[in-house]
């Protein structure tokens, strides 16, 4: 039973890390194009 719980905890941990990295990537992608577009409009 301990082995099964350990595997479940490991799966939850991996999913949490993946969710965190996906959220961080989404946030960076949402912020970066807005700043890039603003810089282009200031130059041109």
Q: What is the pTM of this model?
A: 0.66
- Which domain, by its residues, includes 14? 1-31
In a domain, 43, yes or no: no
- Per-residue pLDDT of 11-35, as tens digits, reads 999 999 999 999 999 999 988 877 6
In a domain, 26, yes or no: yes
Count structural domains, the chain: 1
And the tokens for 7? 């595997």
In whole angstroms, what is the distance from residue 40 CA to residue 42 CA?
Answer: 5
Q: What is the per-residue pLDDT for 22?
A: 97
* DSSP character string of the chain: -HHHHHHHHHHHHHHHHHHHHHHHHHHHHHHHHHHHHHHHHHH-
């Amino acid at each position: 039973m301990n082995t099964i719980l350990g595997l479940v905890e490991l799966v939850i941990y991996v999913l949490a890390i993946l969710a965190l990295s996906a959220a961080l990537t989404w946030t960076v992608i949402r912020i970066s194009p807005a700043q890039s577009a603003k810089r282009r409009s200031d130059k041109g």
